[in-house]
Chain A
Amino acid sequence: MGFVKGLKCRECGREYDADPVYVCEFCFGPLEVAYDYKGIKKVLTRKKIESRELSLWRYKELLPIDGEPQVGLTSGFTPLIKADNLAKELGVKELYVKDDTVVHPTLSFKDRVVAVALTKAKEFGFDTVACASTGNLAHSVSAHGAKAGFKRYIFIPASLEASKIAASLVYAPNLVAVDGNYDDVNRLCSEIANKYNWAFVNINIRPYYAEGSKTQGFEIVEQLGWKAPDNVVVPCASGSLLTKIWKSLKEFQEIGLLKDVNTKVFSAQAEGCNPIATAIKKDTDIIVPVKPDTVAKSLAIGNPADGFYAFKCVKDSGGHGDDATNEEIIEGMKLLARTEGIFAETAGGVTVAVARKLIKSGKIKKNGSTVLCITGNGLKTQEALQGHMGEPYHIKPNLEAFEKVLKQNREKK
């Protein structure tokens, strides 16, 4: 019943069957899912989508599965919030926050990609799923995999903070802490993925896994009343999310659900890990890997798999990119919380801080509609805020002490 035609190499265009493979055997280019858009156009309408459950699976024809969804049935369809308070601060007219801090079950946009990856892993007949992660992806694979009944192997660098380990361990996966630096962990996982017959979500299942990100773009369009925004600001780690949001707009246009796409796509990175932003600013399509050093750990991918393609989407759309310092990231997190009541993780601070810069420099026009993609919950990265917030008032348990504080507070204003 699915509409997947197969996989296609993004570099040389060679076609492959829809198997658990991820790289072209000829040019080593990454593989991407190709769909039968004519077939989808015949069956998928706005009305049909609107009649379905409020989850990411309401766009299932545009996702790479053959049967019915099996994992993450309540994930997705997060709020698109009209952010008037933040708009005033940033000096734009129409601003929205796509709030993936509240995706179920693990409070980040990774619940989208993992829902799709694990449904596909079931279809392929795998009994074990795996990933390498420092945070959000580990939590999501651990949780979704538990519910779906998979054996789970989660690889983490041994130096990872205790709080991030707990948020995976509670779901009782096989958590493997690997000694060595990030490069060592990367290499080991590549070897494991090539040796064992497992669904390694961001290696051999990657073409399918990455497609889950499109649902964030589909939702934005639907929630804007079937309109594409003028600007969208996307945080970039591997660059995959940005490319898939662009793809989601193009697909909606292709199947006739969206008339015009004049959206400019903007890339947001941390200054301490900015290979994509650097390429955009230098206007060169070769992404030079970096060694990450930033508080935005969930964006700390120094050698981004989709960096080149993210660069291309930004350029094709007429967008731009920028990066933010650690201080600007913290300020961005605080600003979003103070104005919109949304506590985002550090990556959210990156998006807000970079949006501010792009608006200030005129790259994002003040009159258009702008969507900020906020991808994870702040409770996961609370340590980043230590020493950067106000202190509580400490008082004795009597009314007099409280009223003294109240008086001081009123005088301040």
Chain B
Amino acid sequence: MGGKTTRRVKLTFPPELIKEPVVFTMAKKYDIMPNIRRARVTETVGELVLELEGTEENLEKGIQSLTKKGISVELIEGDIIE
């Protein structure tokens, strides 16, 4: 179980993905434990703030799989470069 790490991220979903269990699918495939802290969903867009726990490699792959699907994955800090 060594080598596990966490990432705090904000996911923004386009409307066509709001109803799909994308987080569950990603979590199962890459052995990632998601811990949802905040969520807001409207008719046109969804926003999910959560902590992901897994190995560095799996987190990277899991996040990439979400990005590929069209979900925006950002740091909860927002963009840091000002």
Q: Known: A11-B38, A289-B12. Contact between A306 and B78, CB under 8 A?
A: yes
Known: A11-B38, A26-B37, A286-B47. A189 touches B78 (CB 8 A): no
What string of 1s and 0s marks CB contacts (under 8 Å) between A97-112 and chain B? 0000000000000100
Assess whether B38 is in contact with A288, with CB atoms less than 8 Å apart: no
Q: Does A182 contact B (CB under 8 A)?
A: yes
Contact of A288 among B12, B37, B49, B77 (CB under 8 A): B12
A-B contact count (CB 8 A): 90
Q: Is the Cβ of B78 less than 8 Å from the Cβ of A203? A: no
Residue A81 CB within 8 A of the other chain: no
Q: Is A404's beta carbon under 8 Å from chain B?
A: no
Residues of B within 8 A of A124 (CB): none
Interface string of A15-36 (1 = CB under 8 A from B): 0000000110011110000000
With A27-B49, A286-B47 as contacts: A133 and B81 at CB distance below 8 Å = yes
- Report yes or no: A29 in contact with B79, Cβ–Cβ below 8 A: no
How long is the Cα–Cα vector from A286 to B46 in the complex, in angstroms?
Answer: 8
Q: Is the CB of A284 within 8 A of B45?
A: yes
Interface size classification for chain B: 20 to 34
**Dominant SS among interface residues on chain B:** strand
Contact (Cβ within 8 A) A189 B80: yes
**Is A202 interfacial (CB-CB < 8 Å)?**
yes
Q: Does B68 contact A (CB under 8 A)?
A: no
| Inter-chain contacts of A26 with B (CB < 8 A) | 37
- A interface, size bucket: 35 or more
Contacts of B79 in A (CB 8 A): 182, 186, 238, 301-305
Residue B76 CB within 8 A of the other chain: yes
Question: Is residue A294 contacting chain B, with contact meaning CB distance below 8 A?
Answer: no
Select one of A190, A286, A305 contacting B42, CB under 8 A: A286
| Complex-state Cα separation, A301 to B80, whole angstroms | 9
> What 1/0 mask marks residues of chain A from 128 to 144 whose CB sits below 8 Å from any chain B CB?
00011110110000000
Known contacts A187-B75, A289-B72; A131/B8 CB under 8 A: no
- Bound together, the chains give a CA A28 to CA B44 distance in angstroms of 23
Q: CB of A185 within 8 A of chain B?
A: yes
Q: State whether the Cβ of A157 lies closer than 8 Å to any Cβ in chain B.
A: yes
* Contact call B77/A23, Cβ cutoff below 8 A: yes
Which of A28, A29, A193 has the largest count of B CB atoms less than 10 A from its CB?
A28
Contacts of A307 in B (CB 8 A): 78
Beyond A27-B37, A286-B12, whether A305 also contacts B77 by CB under 8 A is yes
Query: Is A237 an interface position by the 8 A CB rule?
Result: yes
B40 at the interface (CB under 8 A from A): yes
Q: Please give, as numbers and ranges, the residues of chain B lying within 8 Å of A131 by CB-CB distance.
A: 82
Check: B53 CB closer than 8 A to any chain A CB: no
A28 near B49 (CB under 8 angstroms)? yes
| A26-B37, A27-B37 given; A185·B81 CB < 8 A | yes
Q: Are B49 and A286 in contact (CB under 8 A)?
A: no
Q: Which of A11, A132, A190 contacts B82 (CB 8 A)?
A: A132
A contact set with B: CB distance below 8 Å: 11, 22-23, 26-29, 110, 131-134, 136-137, 155, 157, 182, 185-187, 189-190, 193, 202-203, 206, 237-238, 284-286, 288-289, 298, 301-307
What are 25 A-B pairs with beta-carbon distances under 8 A?
A11-B38, A23-B77, A28-B37, A28-B38, A28-B76, A29-B38, A157-B81, A182-B79, A186-B80, A186-B81, A190-B77, A190-B80, A193-B80, A286-B12, A286-B45, A286-B47, A288-B12, A288-B72, A289-B72, A303-B10, A303-B74, A303-B75, A303-B78, A305-B77, A305-B79
- B interface with A by C-beta (< 8 Å): 8, 10, 12, 37-38, 40, 42, 44-47, 49, 51, 72, 74-82
Closest 6 interchain pairs by CB?
A: A305-B78, A137-B82, A303-B74, A132-B81, A301-B79, A286-B45
